[in-house]
C-alpha cells in the first residue's frame, strides 16, 4: 500500500471548499454545474475560493454540459478558461477532450496542457467515455497530463476495480492515477487496496434544504423541478471520516 494518499474533494461553492479544507482534504476540484457533471466555475468563484482556501485548487474547464467533443468555438472558450484559471491563482486545471470516434484527442489535449503550464493538469472522466481505455491511457500520457481521473469505465468505481487496477499497473508511474465514483469512508480502503491508486476523488456531500421561507414551486429554473430549493454541499464531517479511514489504513499498513 502507498505511504501517502491524496484526497481531492469536488466543490461548487465557497462554503463547500471551506468545508473540504476543514475536513482535511488535500486538494479541491472547483466546479460549476455539479448537477450536470461539472462545468467551468465563474471567475468570481475561483477568485473568492482562492482568497479563502490554502490547499491546492484545480479548476474544472468544461464549457458546457454534454459530450466531450469540442468544436472550434468550444475549444476557444476552453483556452480562455485555462488562462483565466492561471491568472486567478489556480494550482491546476481539469479537462477532457475526445474525438468524434471516442478516442482521446491528443493534439487538443497537448495544446491545453502546454497552455496551462506551470499549472498541473488532470484529464477527467471523459476518459471513462473513451472508445478503448488502454489506448486512452497511452494517449493521455502522450499528451502530457499529470494525472488521470477514472472509475474504470463504470458509474461506480466498485464495479470497475479490476480495470482501474490494470490501468494503474499499465501506467507504471508515468502518470498519477486517481480513482473516483461513489467513494466514501465505507469503501475507500477497499478501493485503495484493490487498485493501488494513491489519489482519490470524492464528493462527500449531502442535500441541504433552502432557507427560503417563500417558495414558488410552480416554476423551475432547471431541468429538475424543485432543485431551486435544494442543493448539495460538502460536509466537513464526511470529509473527515474519509480522511480518517485512509489514515487509519495507512497507519495499520506501516505497523505491519
* Residue 66 domain flag: yes
Q: For residue 224, is pLDDT > 90? A: no
Estimate the crossing angle of helix 14-23 against helix 236-255, to 10 degrees.
30
What is the pLDDT confidence band of residue 221, given thresholds at 50, 70 and 90?
confident
CA 116 to centroid of chain Cα atoms: 17
Number of domains in the chain: 1
Question: Domain limits at 66?
Answer: 6-255
Would residue 124 count as lying in a domain? Answer: yes
CATH number, domain at 34?
3.20.20.380
Contacts for 83 with CB less than 8 Å, ≥ 6 apart: 115
Cis peptide bond prior to 118, omega within 30° of 0: yes
d(CA 214, CA 91): 40
Phi, psi at residue 105, to the nearest 5°?
A: -85, 95
In a domain, 40, yes or no: yes
- Tell me whether residue 237 is in a domain: yes
| In a domain? residue 1 | no
pTM for the whole structure? 0.93
> Taking a C-beta distance cutoff of 8 angstroms, is the pair 152, 118 a contact?
no
Mean pLDDT, the chain, rounded, equals 93
- Report the C-alpha gap between 167 and 160 in whole angstroms: 11
pLDDT band at 238 (very low <50, low <70, confident <90, very high): very high
What confidence category does residue 1 fall into, taking pLDDT thresholds of 50, 70 and 90? very low
Residue 169 has pLDDT above 70, yes or no: yes
Higher local confidence (pLDDT), 65 or 216: 65
| pLDDT tens-place string over residues 36-94 | 889 999 999 999 999 999 999 999 999 999 999 999 999 999 999 999 999 999 999 99
Q: Calculate the dihedral angle through the C-alpha atoms of 38, 41, 94, 96, rounding to the nearest 10 degrees.
A: 50
Give the relative orientation of helices 43-52 and 72-87 as an angle to the nearest 10 degrees. Answer: 30
**Number of helices and strands (H, E) in the chain?**
8, 10
Mean pLDDT across 135-163 = 98
What is the CA angle 233-239-240, rounded to 5?
140
Helix or strand run (H / E) with residue 28: strand 27-30
Amino acid at each position: 500500500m502507498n505511504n501517502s494518499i491524496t484526497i481531492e474533494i469536488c466543490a461548487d461553492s465557497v462554503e463547500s471548499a471551506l468545508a473540504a479544507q476543514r475536513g482535511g482534504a488535500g486538494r479541491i476540484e472547483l466546479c460549476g454545474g455539479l448537477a450536470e457533471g461539472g462545468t467551468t466555475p465563474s471567475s468570481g468563484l475561483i477568485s473568492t475560493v482562492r482568497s479563502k482556501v490554502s490547499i491546492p485548487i484545480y479548476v474544472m474547464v468544461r464549457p458546457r454540459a454534454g459530450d466531450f467533443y469540442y468544436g472550434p468555438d468550444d475549444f476557444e472558450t476552453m483556452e480562455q478558461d485555462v488562462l483565466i484559471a492561471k491568472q486567478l491563482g489556480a494550482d491546476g486545471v481539469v479537462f477532457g477532450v475526445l474525438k468524434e470516434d471516442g478516442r482521446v484527442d491528443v493534439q487538443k489535449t497537448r495544446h491545453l496542457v502546454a497552455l496551462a503550464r506551470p499549472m498541473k493538469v488532470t484529464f477527467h472522466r471523459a476518459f471513462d467515455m473513451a472508445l478503448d481505455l488502454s489506448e486512452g491511457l497511452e494517449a493521455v500520457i502522450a499528451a502530457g497530463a499529470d494525472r488521470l481521473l477514472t472509475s474504470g469505465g463504470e458509474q461506480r468505481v466498485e464495479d470497475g476495480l479490476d480495470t482501474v487496477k490494470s490501468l494503474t499497473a499499465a501506467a507504471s508511474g508515468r502518470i498519477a492515477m486517481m480513482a473516483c465514483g461513489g467513494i466514501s469512508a465505507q469503501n475507500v480502503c477497499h478501493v485503495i487496496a484493490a487498485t493501488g491508486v494513491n489519489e482519490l476523488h470524492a464528493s462527500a456531500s449531502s442535500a441541504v434544504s433552502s432557507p427560503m421561507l417563500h417558495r414558488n414551486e410552480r416554476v423551475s429554473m432547471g431541468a429538475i423541478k424543485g432543485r431551486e430549493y435544494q442543493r448539495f454541499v460538502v460536509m466537513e464531517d464526511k470529509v473527515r471520516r474519509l480522511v480518517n479511514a485512509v489514515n487509519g489504513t495507512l497507519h495499520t499498513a506501516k505497523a505491519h
